[in-house]
């Protein structure tokens, strides 16, 4: 992502988290280059501001990456040399029971990445119609038992804690489909090859609710389009996704940007005459066995790169 020659380049880390990618960028770029880091989570931003107090090349903003237009304008930047988007939730978010992302520990059902705005997952679950809850769990969780789970959620309202929600989901899934003789306890994951482990029955439902509350799919689509719009020629956008639903959207969005706009069929223009603006760099990259051993959460990560060529 880093061209060696551009001393005044600006890079964007659109998902700062705890700054692993920002630190790597800062260690590579020139003393006159800059990194603008964004996160919608105030705890991530606080950790970023700490790092920024030690390195003047870093500026940290509390924002969604779909607001990149405004952020760059406020920083007087029109073109950037690279953008990295590392999608999903961070380990600190997942590991803190009070954030409500985890079905492994008990806490309030919050799940907002940005706790300063919007509706918590509990508020959403406790007010939304059963059919809509089922639709979200089916489409964003790819969960075949979405109807049963939604019915069980509505029957148990008002819901308060993540342990309660996880238990309701596990009970709603028929025993035979779990592949185990007994109901899940949240433990007992087993290996299914490629370093993968069988996931808890609550995984898909939690993923769906989290994606709904944080409007993740629309963020990804808008974020990629805006980031590509601001890349200078030769600049690169790197996107890391964490599950197949996210990756399919990333792949589709990147492909359509690389291809350029669809022309109306009757227009007297040959496809070969339409300027190509983007180039997909290499194939999708998966974590190596070694990386998975060092960081088991990387096992489902997929990295894709798009370069601006015109
Ligand atoms: C997987 S973590 C990134 C980890 C980071 N690369 C690191 O090295 O620590 C994803 C981060 O992106 C943030 N995030 C997710 N969606 C976002 C969005 N639409 N706008 C801004 N930040 C977002 C989350 O709050 C979280 O901190």
CA distance 184 to 272: 56
Chain-centre distance of CA 116, in angstroms?
19
Cα angle at 147 between 174 and 221, to 5 degrees? 115
Ligand 1 centroid to 135 CA: how many Å? 26
Q: What's the 72 CA to ligand 1 centre distance in angstroms? A: 18
Q: What pLDDT band is residue 187 in, cutting at 50, 70 and 90? A: very low
pLDDT over 70 at 196, yes or no = no
Least confident piece of the model among 151-160, 205-214, 263-272, 288-297? 263-272
* Torsion sign, CA atoms 180, 184, 189, 194: positive
At the top level of CATH, the class of 10-90+217-308 is alpha beta
3-state DSSP percent of the chain in helix, strand and coil, to 5: 45, 15, 40
- pLDDT of 91: 94
Tell me the CA–centroid distance for residue 240 and ligand 1, in Å: 11
Q: Which residue is closest in CA terms to ligand 1's atom 12?
A: 15
Please return the burial class of 11, using the count of CB atoms within 10 Å of its CB with bins 0-12, 13-18 and 19+: buried
179 or 156: which carries more pLDDT confidence?
Answer: 156
CB distance 17 to ligand 1 below 6 Å:
yes
pLDDT at 179: 53
Q: What's the pLDDT score for residue 273?
A: 73
Q: What percent of the chain has pLDDT over 70?
A: 91
| Cβ of residue 251 lying under 6 Å from some atom of ligand 1 | no
Q: Yes or no: say if 126 and 158 are a contact pair by the CB < 8 Å rule.
A: yes
- Return the structure tokens found at 171: 């009970």
Average pLDDT score over the chain:
91
Q: Is residue 185 predicted with pLDDT exceeding 60?
A: no
200 Cβ closer than 6 Å to some ligand 1 atom: no
Check residue 46 and give its pLDDT. 98
Domain map of the chain by residue range?
Answer: 10-90+217-308, 115-213
pLDDT number for residue 248: 97
41 in ligand 1 pocket by Cβ < 6 Å? yes
**99 pocket-lining for ligand 1 (C-beta < 6 Å):** no
Domains 10-90+217-308 and 115-213 share a fold: no
What DSSP character marks residue 189?
-
Name the band, by pLDDT with cuts 50, 70 and 90, for residue 263. Answer: confident
Residue range 270-297, pLDDT digits in tens: 767 778 899 999 999 999 999 999 999 8
The superfamily (CATH) of domain 115-213 is Putative methyltransferase TM0872, insert domain (1.10.150.170)
Question: What is the number of other CB atoms lying within 10 angstroms of the CB of residue 271?
Answer: 8
Q: 248: which 2 tokens? A: 């399919």
> Has residue 302 got a pLDDT over 60?
yes
Report the range of poorest mean pLDDT among 2-11, 43-52, 93-102, 155-164: 2-11
CA of 243 to the centre of ligand 1 (A): 15
Distance from Cα 88 to the centre of ligand 1, integer Å: 6
Q: Looking at ligand 1, which residue's alpha carbon is closest to its atom 13? A: 15
Question: At residue 154, does pLDDT exceed 90?
Answer: yes
- Burial annotation 284-306 (CB, 10 A radius, 16+ → b, else e): eeebeeeebeeeeebbbbbbbbb
Atom 3 of ligand 1, nearest CA residue? 17
CA–CA separation, 49 and 261 (whole Å):
39
Q: How far apart are CA 2 and CA 29, in angstroms?
A: 7
């Amino acid at each position: 992502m880093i061209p060696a020659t551009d001393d005044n380049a600006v890079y964007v880390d659109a998902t700062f988290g705890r700054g692993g990618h920002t630190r790597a960028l800062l260690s590579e770029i020139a003393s006159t280059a800059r990194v603008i880091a964004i996160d919608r989570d105030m705890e991530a931003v606080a950790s970023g501001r700490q790092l920024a107090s030690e390195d003047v090349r870093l500026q940290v903003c509390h924002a969604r990456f779909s607001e990149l237009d405004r952020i760059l304008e406020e920083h007087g930047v029109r073109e950037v040399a690279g953008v990295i988007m590392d999608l999903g939730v961070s380990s600190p978010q997942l590991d803190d029971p009070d954030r409500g992302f985890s079905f492994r520990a008990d806490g309030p059902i919050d799940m907002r990445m940005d706790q300063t705005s919007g509706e918590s997952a509990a508020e959403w679950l406790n007010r939304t119609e059963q059919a809509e809850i089922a639709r979200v769990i089916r489409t964003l969780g790819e969960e075949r038992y979405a109807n049963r789970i939604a019915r069980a959620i509505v029957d148990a309202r008002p819901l308060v804690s993540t342990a309660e929600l996880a238990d309701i989901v596990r009970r709603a899934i028929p025993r035979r489909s779990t592949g185990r003789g007994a109901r899940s306890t949240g433990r007992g994951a087993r290996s299914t090859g490629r370093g993968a482990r069988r996931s808890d029955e609550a995984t898909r439902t939690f993923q769906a609710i989290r994606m709904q509350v944080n409007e993740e799919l629309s963020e990804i689509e808008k974020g990629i389009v805006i980031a590509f719009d601001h890349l200078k020629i030769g600049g690169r956008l790197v996107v890391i996704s964490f599950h197949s639903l996210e990756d399919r959207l990333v792949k589709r969005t990147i492909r359509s940007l690389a291809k350029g706009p669809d022309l109306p069929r009757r227009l007297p223009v040959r496809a070969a005459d339409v300027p190509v603006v983007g180039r997909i760099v290499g194939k999708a990259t998966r974590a190596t066995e070694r990386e998975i051993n060092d960081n088991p959460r990387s096992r489902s990560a997929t990295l894709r790169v798009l370069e601006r060529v015109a």
